[in-house]
């Protein structure tokens, strides 16, 4: 796990000396030094120049980067881990390839030289890399199937620059960045910036499961190398109810294999353990393969938000070396400005603060941590899955009954707690009335187009749903032959897992030089989960059905069947209390007038309605607060009002 950066001079680039190139690389690497605290290297072979910040995990003594082939045919800078590198290495050796190190980086390099682009199909892991092919004078870069490792790039003034984080691109002297108002509107809707966009108009993200080839004349090719498997039809051979015992056994086998692959390291390895079924399943397999492995969790001194007892019960049953640290939930609020300021793009997931703290605590004892990311999206962990299913029945109800239900939803009680019944009902009803492609996103949206229209001074057409949610529509329409529920699983994987959850985990862990590994996103296991019929994931009201069946006997029943909660953060209460001074400062009329984007009176109404309890604006207000916090750290970046 590392940080990568570099650039390629195209035919119309300004003249650059080797000395100037090294200075640029040093500046870029300095911005992402937290991603690789164990070493720094660079390679200048213009027109290509690469930098690398190393977090040493495998082959601690000889795995330095950037790494050049022995004959000088190619050089690579690589971030991530290739879990099956030993098998691929043996295959390459059988073909006559020789190795100078024990590192997975050299396996990647030799695999490319042997198979070219086709090497990607042989690699299982998390990665983002850039490789300069000296003979072809071509840059080859790729990102893993699930986007666990980031890759940003920009082309300006004849220079192609890339990096693990946008902050490194900001150090490139040939690049300048601005922000479009339409991108801010999209952030306020999604709570993050969907791929392939970035927060900056001039920079893009290489999407997961895609690679690019760049030639010196500026020709850029971006292609997909892996597709999400389509679910099998209900009751198909091998996937019927009579096959459940065999499917449970296969799920356990694949999870064990995935965990075994991710335990390979030359540094200490631990497991994040929340006490939910996902992380507990990973801990169960890790405990069998590495008895006494360390597990880590955080709890809160406020009893209503503390779920650490569940993690403790799982750890006791599995016999892990459990590490628990209790924190104050209110104290977490005070960390919000620091955490937001350290993210290269704004992200409004409230759990970034506890994830950041958990990463900090875990890094004190281990360098690698296995986590439970993936099953919520792959195996129907969210309430949105049955919610979407219910919308299909909603369509069949008579219009008068639907109107009555909408009216009755306003009579439900409101709450500043974890669940607000009135808000949940109204969100569902709004989603049910939306087109099928938009329903899941309407359930998730922080600030709807209607809510944003009241806030923006000049919204133009940027809030039209087909434009605002263009990435959702594109993903939905890319699978016209898939059943609606299968499309929902694809949407959640592509948007929530790849573009949101994994980004949060990557940034929070790497800010502390900690490598996070996600066994459920092992290629073999994930493809198995994708192929499962919907009924194996969502059985009636039971979510993650097959996972819970597979783990029965290994985990306590109350752990398997307790409601999903995630990191409980009292955002609604914070915005009314502890964070109110920050809200008043960042959303002050003076600041908003200087910014020139939003109606101060409309924003103030949002704040006051939430503070009074009249309405629950926790998601929208929190997202607006995070945006303003992030923008406060970028005073020199121009915001383009063009819609």
Under DSSP, the state recorded for 536 is G
What secondary structure does DSSP assign to 485-535, as a single string?
Answer: HHHHHHHIIIIIIIIIIHHHHHHHHHTTT-EEE-GGG-HHHHHHHHHS-GG
Residue keyed to tokens 């065999």: 246
CA distance 398 to 406: 13
Contact 507, 346 (CB under 8 A): no
298 annotated to bind ligand: yes
DSSP state of 230: P
| Contact between 167 and 344 (Cβ < 8 Å) | yes
Closest-CA residue to 36 (of 4, 72, 62, 84): 4
The answer to the question of whether 344 is labelled as a binding residue is: no
**Residue 307: which of 322, 297, 294, 295 has the closest Cα?**
297
Place of tokens 């069998």: 288
Please indicate whether residue 529 is annotated as part of the active site. no
Radius of gyration of the chain (CA): 24
Is 124:82 a contact under the CB 8 Å cutoff? yes
Strand partners, 6: 50, 162
**How far is Cα 480 from Cα 401, in angstroms, rounded to an integer?**
31
Choosing from 2, 248, 332, 529, which is the catalytic residue?
A: 2
Q: 98 is written with which tokens?
A: 């020789």
Contact predicate 315/322, CB 8 Å: yes
Residue 140, class by beta-carbon neighbours within 10 Å (0-12 exposed, 13-18 middle, 19+ buried)? buried
Are 456 and 598 spatial neighbours (Cβ–Cβ below 8 Å)? yes
Annotated binding site for L-glutamine: 104
Positions annotated as catalytic residues are 2
Annotated binding site: 104, 298
Annotated binding site for ATP: 298
């Amino acid at each position: 796990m590392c940080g990568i950066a570099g650039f390629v001079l195209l035919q119309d680039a300004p003249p650059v000396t080797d000395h100037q190139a090294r200075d640029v690389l040093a500046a870029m690497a300095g911005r992402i030094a937290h991603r690789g605290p164990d070493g720094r290297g660079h390679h200048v072979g213009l027109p290509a120049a690469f930098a690398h910040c190393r977090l040493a995990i495998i082959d601690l003594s000889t795995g330095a980067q950037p790494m050049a082939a022995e004959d000088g045919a190619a050089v690579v800078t690589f971030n991530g881990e290739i879990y099956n590198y030993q098998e691929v290495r043996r295959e390459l050796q059988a073909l006559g390839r020789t190795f100078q190190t024990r590192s997975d980086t050299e396996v990647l390099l030799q695999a490319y030289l042997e198979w070219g682009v086709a090497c990607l199909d042989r690699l299982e892991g998390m990665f983002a890399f850039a490789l300069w092919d000296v003979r072809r004078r071509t840059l080859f870069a790729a990102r893993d199937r699930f986007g666990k490792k980031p890759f940003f790039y920009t082309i300006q003034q004849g220079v192609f620059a890339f990096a693990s984080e946008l902050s490194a691109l900001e150090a490139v002297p040939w690049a300048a960045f601005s922000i479009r108002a339409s991108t801010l509107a999209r952030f306020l809707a999604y709570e993050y910036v969907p791929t392939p966009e970035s927060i900056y108009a001039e920079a893009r993200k290489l999407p997961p499961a895609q690679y690019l080839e760049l030639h010196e004349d500026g020709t850029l090719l971006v292609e997909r190398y892996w597709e999400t498997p389509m679910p099998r039809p209900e009751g198909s051979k091998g996937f019927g109810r009579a096959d459940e015992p065999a499917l449970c056994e296969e799920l356990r086998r694949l999870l064990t294999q995935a965990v075994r692959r991710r335990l390979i390291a030359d540094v200490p390895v631990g497991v994040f353990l929340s006490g939910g079924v996902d992380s507990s399943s990973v801990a169960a397999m890790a405990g069998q393969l590495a008895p006494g492995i360390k597990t880590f969790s955080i709890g809160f001194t406020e009893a209503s938000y503390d779920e650490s007892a569940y993690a403790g019960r799982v750890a006791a049953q599995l016999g892990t070396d459990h590490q628990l640290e209790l924190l104050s939930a209110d104290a977490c609020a005070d960390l919000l400005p620091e955490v937001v300021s350290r993210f290269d793009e704004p992200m409004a997931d409230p759990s970034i603060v506890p994830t950041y703290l958990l990463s900090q605590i875990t890094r004190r004892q281990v360098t690698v941590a296995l986590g439970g990311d993936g099953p919520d999206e792959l195996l129907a962990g969210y309430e949105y899955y049955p919610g979407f299913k219910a919308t299909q029945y909603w369509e069949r109800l008579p219009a008068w009954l639907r109107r009555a239900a909408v009216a009755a939803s306003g009579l439900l009680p409101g709450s500043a707690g974890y669940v607000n019944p009135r808000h949940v009902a109204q969100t569902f009803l709004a989603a049910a009335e939306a087109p099928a492609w938009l329903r899941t996103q309407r359930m998730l949206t922080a600030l709807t187009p209607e809510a944003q229209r009241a806030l923006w001074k000049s919204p133009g057409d940027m809030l039209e749903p087909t434009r605002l949610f263009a990435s959702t529509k594109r993903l939905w329409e890319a699978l016209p032959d898939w059943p609606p529920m299968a499309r929902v699983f694809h949407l959640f994987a592509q948007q929530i897992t790849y573009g949101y959850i994994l980004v949060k985990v990557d940034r929070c862990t790497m800010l502390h030089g900690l490598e996070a590994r996600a066994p459920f996103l092992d290629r073999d296991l994930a493809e198995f989960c994708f192929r499962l019929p919907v009924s194996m994931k969502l059985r009636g009201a039971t979510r993650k059905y097959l996972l819970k069946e597979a783990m029965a006997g290994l985990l306590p029943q109350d752990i398997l069947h307790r409601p999903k909660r995630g990191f409980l953060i009292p955002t609604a209460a914070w915005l009314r209390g502890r964070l109110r001074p920050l809200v008043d400062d960042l959303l002050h009329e003076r600041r908003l007038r200087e910014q020139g984007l939003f109606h101060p009176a409309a924003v103030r109404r949002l704040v006051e309605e939430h503070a009074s309890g009249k309405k629950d604006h926790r998601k929208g207000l929190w997202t607006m607060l995070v945006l303003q916090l992030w923008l406060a750290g970028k005073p020199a970046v121009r915001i383009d009002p063009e819609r």
